[in-house]
Amino acid sequence: MILKKLLTIMILTLSIFAFTACESKGPAEKAGEKIDQAVEKTTDKAKEVTEAVEDKAEEVGKEAKKSTQ
């Protein structure tokens, strides 16, 4: 839960940064687009990692429950 909240805050912060960076013209606009792409990739990877951590935690919890029975 805490990881999800932290991840959400991070994504929102990065999105705001990327949005403000995109309002520039010319080379700065290109840089902003690259930032957007980087944020998107980071967001996707963060979601993947979050899901993997949640799956693993669930798996470990199930194994722990089995071993205590």
Tell me the residue range of the domain where 27 lies. Answer: 2-67
The whole-model pTM stands at 0.50
Q: Considering its fold, how many domains does the chain have in total? A: 1
Per-residue pLDDT of the chain (69 residues; tens, 9 = 90+): 677 777 888 887 877 777 765 555 678 778 888 999 999 999 999 999 999 999 999 999 888 888 887
- Other CB atoms within a 10 A radius of the CB of residue 32 amount to 19
Tokens of 13: 């912060």
Which ranges in 1-26 belong to alpha helices (H)?
A: 2-21
- Sign of the Cα torsion 12, 15, 19, 20 reads positive
